[in-house]
Amino acid sequence: MSVSLQGNLVKKAHKKHKYTDEEIKHLKKCADPKKGPLYFAENFLSIQHPTKGAIKFKPYSYQKKLLKNYNENRFSISMLPRQTGKTTCASAYLLWYAMFNPDSQILIAAHKYAGAQDIMNRFRYAYESVPDFIRPGVYSYNRNTIEFDNGSRVKATTTTENTGRGMSLSVIYCDEFAFVNPPTKAKEFWTALSPTLATGGKCLITSTPNSDEDQFALIWKEANKRFDEYGNDKIVGTNGFYAMKAHWNEHPDRDETWAEAERARIGEERFRREHECEFLIFDETLINSITLADMEGVPPVETTGQVRWYKRPTPGHTYMVSLDPSMGTGGDFAGIQVFELPTFEQVGEWHHNTTPMNQQIRILQGINKHIYDTIMEQDASATPQIFYSMENNTIGEAALLRVMDIGEENIQGMFLSEPIRKGHRRKFRRGFNTTAKFKIDACTKFKELIEGGKMKINSQLLISELKDFVASGLSFKAKPGQHDDLVSACLLMTRMMKVLADFDPKIFEKWTDRTSELTPMPIFGSFTG
């Protein structure tokens, strides 16, 4: 809410003041470009404590470090636990900057309008607590904008694709940047903002972590790549950002007793994300977020064309190849997964969205040949066990026709089809038909295998898709704007494994053995399967 310029809470523009020697001493210390922000905050700032009311701001050790980082680094990214005073620190620094850097243009960008208002309210409260001899006068004092008589201007808004576009900014502060939704908005905002920052502006980013694939996470990861070509550690990351992380126990009012109570209140998953600042996914992902956070992909050991191989095929194992086809016209991706049995380890992968249907089958044919040839090179007496299949829905029908055109005799391995269940009357169809029930059954088993530690995923790209594979109605699918083609190929693979488990004792043993406690399916509340 606006405050009258005639009131006592603000200072009129160009109000004359006769300074004392003591006031001049304080002004010089506040204006110091290195030590000024901390001196100003410790001596002249008041904050609203949730239980104690108005109190003098006495920054904790990590808050002093945060103020120092803001001031000394042009680009700063900070990952901080909930309710640790990051907004207070940001407000203090931005106020100092506006007061002691005339003609500054400062933009506050929050993920929600309420967040922008909260920061501006803290900024206004801090300004109103500062004695007149230090603070500048104001021309305007509105809900979203403050203009000082020293030429500085502060504006608060929400983060959109166009926020800051075309502006000449001295400082931009991005609050809770990891929670800008949808994630594509944060990416577009960052793309638009980069030219503005290139002209010399400062950028301060703070947030509690969210997904490890969002724009905040990407900036954070680059900021932590601090080694030069000779292996020497640098102060800032490859993107020029200084990274700072604080832990919940750095707050003097928080101890193990507090942590135990907080874990009981919000759960282990939220505690790790919100207080230990781990990149855990908050959405209802198929695979629980803690498991996803612990999954790490590996680089391919070799590539054949566009096919990525994570493990060399070896004699004595069975290999499964599943194709989730696409039209190949630049929309949805086609995906191929290769798994090894009975280890249940991912050994190969391919995906593309402009490869024609006939070529997708040729790539599958090449994958099977690579498996066969690699095994025979190691043991000429071996009998490679290779099974392959694909969906027979819609696009899958076209893929099956391409298999017929090539001829199954020209594709290494055996084409695997879904058996007709006892008591069901239907015409036999090659491949696997995917219905809502079959999909959720496959999701349930896939979840069990991964969370139970029985299936090993090696592809970083597949892990990335799993982090965006979330509950939707009574099933699962990719978040808007994301892809799940590699996941779909895995679900088909899971159904193929079920067929083989009915005949192979080694596969059946691992398929049915549940040795670990599993988390429930997100959309159901209890796990059955």
Locate tokens 């059954």: which residue? 441
Instruction: Please give the pLDDT value at position 107.
Output: 93
Instruction: Please give the pLDDT value at position 312.
Output: 96
Fold of 60-266: Rossmann fold (3.40.50)
Locate tokens 């003097």: which residue? 252
Residue 115 half-sphere exposure toward CB, CA atoms < 13 A = 20
Report residue 240: phi and psi, to 5°: 85, 0
Q: What is the mean pLDDT of each run of 10 residues along the chain (529 residues)?
A: 52 88 94 95 86 84 93 93 87 95 93 87 91 92 92 92 78 91 84 78 90 84 69 74 89 90 87 81 79 86 94 96 89 92 95 91 96 96 94 85 90 89 65 89 93 93 90 87 91 94 84 70 55
| Each residue's pLDDT tens digit, 369-417 | 999 999 999 999 999 999 999 988 888 888 888 898 998 899 999 999 9
Residue 366 half-sphere exposure toward CB, CA atoms < 13 A = 17
Beta bridge partners of 339: 320, 346
| 10 within 8 A of 128, measured Cβ to Cβ | yes
Question: Which residues does 493 contact at the CB level (< 8 Å), separation at least 6?
Answer: 320, 322, 337, 339
Q: Compute the distance between CA of residue 371 and CA of residue 276 in angstroms, rounded to an integer.
A: 44
| 467 within 8 A of 281, measured Cβ to Cβ | yes
Instruction: Please give the pLDDT value at position 503.
Output: 85
Q: Dihedral (C-alpha) 29, 30, 36, 40: value to the nearest 10 degrees?
A: 120
Of 296, 289, 293, residue with least CA distance to 522: 289
Instruction: Please give the pLDDT value at position 319.
Output: 97
Instruction: Please give the pLDDT value at position 228.
Output: 53
Instruction: Please give the pLDDT value at position 516.
Output: 57
Beta bridge partners of 138: 12, 148
Locate tokens 């494994």: which residue? 497
| 295 within 8 A of 463, measured Cβ to Cβ | yes
Question: Which residues does 515 contact at the CB level (< 8 Å), separation at least 6?
Answer: 452, 453
Instruction: Please give the pLDDT value at position 310.
Output: 96
Locate tokens 């030069």: which residue? 228
Angle between helices 485-501 and 460-467 (to 10 degrees): 100
pTM strictly above 0.95: no
Label residues 309-319 b or e (16+ Cβ within 10 Å = b).
bbbebbbebbb
The three-point CA angle 295-301-302 to 5° equals: 130
Q: Are strands 345-352 and 385-390 parallel, antiparallel or unpaired?
A: unpaired
Of 381, 380, 313, 316, residue with least CA distance to 347: 313
Instruction: Please give the pLDDT value at position 515.
Output: 58
Residue 195 half-sphere exposure toward CB, CA atoms < 13 A = 9
Options 3.40.50.11740, 3.30.70.20, 3.30.1360.150, 3.30.420.240; CATH for 294-512 is: 3.30.420.240
Instruction: Please give the pLDDT value at position 1.
Output: 37
Q: Compute the distance between CA of residue 193 and CA of residue 159 in angstroms, rounded to an integer.
A: 11
Which part of the chain is CATH 3.30.420.240? 294-512
For residue 193, give the 3-state DSSP assignment. Answer: helix
For residue 383, give the 3-state DSSP assignment. Answer: coil
Which part of the chain is CATH 3.40.50.300? 60-266
